[in-house]
Every structure is written in structure tokens, then in C-alpha cells.
Amino acid sequence: MGPAELVQAAAMARRFYLEGKSKIQIAEEFGVSRFKVARVLETALERDLVRIEIRVPAELDAERSDALRARYGLRHAVVVESPAEAEETPDPENLGEVAADLLGELVDEGDVLGLAWGRSTIHMAAALDRLPPCTVVQLTGVYDAGTAERGSVEAVRRAAQVAGGDAHPIYAPMLLPDAATAAALRNQTGIARAFEHFDKVTVACVSIGSWEPGISTVHDMLSDEERAHYASLGVAAEMSAHLFDAEGRRVGRDLGERCITVKADQLRRIPEVVAIAGGQRKGPAIDAVLRSGLVTSLVTDTSAADYLMTAGPAPKSALNRSDPDGV
């Protein structure tokens, strides 16, 4: 390209890329056809006269995010850089911060936001600084009723405060000694009121646990005998007190009868279910839950994402929301 061509190409590129003018507008200004404008812009890219750079915040990994979204057929996948000093730590706190920003995008005015128990959802609620007016409901009981004010109850209150909407917390343990006690609690006025909102939830935020100490709330609440029983059924993951094997099939359904939690079928009907989970140790559990069809979006880190990209055959799209049990 000669000097005149270079100057003209630079001017056209400036109009198109920086000023947002259409090719037709540029063609009219320079007295050429829009096809000539298209050729000049293409040449400007080929000759390095124009450089297009895609930039996202340093902590986000756009390439892994897009690859993970495509592999599992998710609506949204956001992969965050794993902290170098905590590669083996499940659910780094920065996942909650990114999830808070994602919820700010996903929740619309008038929605009903559901929050399940989990360290990552608690971190997410603490990081919230914007939400449109919406109702917030707790989807599970708490790990320990004595820590309710510092856990999921406070998360629900915090989210409702940011949104300026109603809060429906659940002041009850997640796991009860037997099904009769759980049924009685579900009928209590405050808990029943929260349960009435489950079928109205439009966006839910959940955590994922591996079936091992310290990484699954439910695992830690059970006796050694109960843990061994569910392990014998092939449990690989836990989400909101629902257990899954490695293929995403639900196992140990009797446990749900003892729990204060949203039903799996109710989760499946929620339009947007965002899971927050990360760390290499949680990789197999995240894979199992994604295969269940209960989750539509994921916030995770590079350690877990690297595992997920090579975790066996690619599953069917999570967005078809079908039950892998076939029931």
C-alpha cells in the first residue's frame, strides 16, 4: 500500500472501529462502494495497520470459560484464575466475588432469587453490591443452627438488603434425625412460607461438595455408618443435600426425606441455576453435578476447569435439563 492508500485505510479504519460508523456511511464519505470499504478494512487487518485486542480482567480466563461452556452446554461459564498459593483449596473466596458480579447481570427486577447453603454462596452474598429489586429465599436449612446468623440466613438477609426486597430465611438445620422431624419442621409457619416460594424461584445459586471430609457439608453431618452406606451407593458429589454418582444420577434419595431443602425437580424447573465451586479436589464432583442436568451456569477456577475439560466423554448439554435417571 502506498502513502495515499495507507492514509485512506487508516481513516476508514478509524471511522469503523473507533467512531462506530457503518461501511455504507464510510463509503458515502469517501465516494467509494461499500465493497471497497470492506476490502480496505480487511487489508488493514492483514497488513497489521489495525490490531484488534480482546481484553478481559486479568483474573478471568476467557478461553477456558468459553471452552467449558461449550463442552457442557452451559448458558454461562466463568473461569477465574486459581490462587497460586491455594491450588488445593476448594472454593477460593474470589469465586464468590465473581459470582456476585454475575448475579448482578442475571437477576432482573421482580425475580425471585434462591440461595442454598454453602461457603461459596456465603462469600458471594458478602460481595454483593448491586441487585435489582427482587425477593430472596433460602433454599436449604443451615449446616448448624447455632451459626445461622453468620451463614446462609445472613446471606439471604444481605442479598435482600442489597436488592431492597423481601427476605425469606429458614431457621432450621439442613439435616434432621429422621423424616418425621423434618416433615414437622416443614409445616412450621416460617419454614412453610419459604417453601411456598420455591416454585417461584427464577435464579438460584448453589454450592457443590465432594464426598469427603471438609468438602461436603452433608458428609460432615452424617455418622460414619451413614457415610459408608452412601459411599457404597457410589456417591461422588453432593448439592443442596442431593447426592449424585459420577454419571450425574441421583443416589441415596432417602436422605432427602430427612433434609430441609429444595427438591431436585424444583431445581430442574428453575430457569437459571448457578453453581459456584472450584479447586482441583472438587473437579470430579463438579463434573458429576453438571451431568445431572440441574445446573445451567458455573463459576469455577482454572484448577477445576482443567480437570473438567478432560473428564471423560463430553456430556449432553446441561440446558436440556433432562433427568439422567430417566424418571
What grid cell was written down for 261? 431443602
Write out residues in the chain with pLDDT < 70, as ranges.
1-2, 53-58, 84-91, 144-151, 318, 320-321, 326-327
pLDDT at 84: 64
Question: What does pTM read for this prediction?
Answer: 0.79
Q: Which residues of 10-28 are buried (b: 16+ CB within 10 A; e: fewer)?
A: eebbebbeeeebebeebbe
Which residues, other chains included, contact 203 with Cβ-Cβ below 8 Å and sequence gap of 6+?
Answer: 103, 106, 107, 111, 112, 113, 114, 270, 271, 272, 273, 274
Nearest to 36 by CA among 27, 45, 44: 27
What grid cell was written down for 70? 461449550
pLDDT at 299: 94
pLDDT at 145: 44
What grid cell was written down for 45? 487487518
Q: Which residues of 44-67 are buried (b: 16+ CB within 10 A; e: fewer)?
A: beeeebbeeeeeeeeeebeebbeb
107 close to 131: Cβ distance less than 8 angstroms: yes
pLDDT at 170: 92
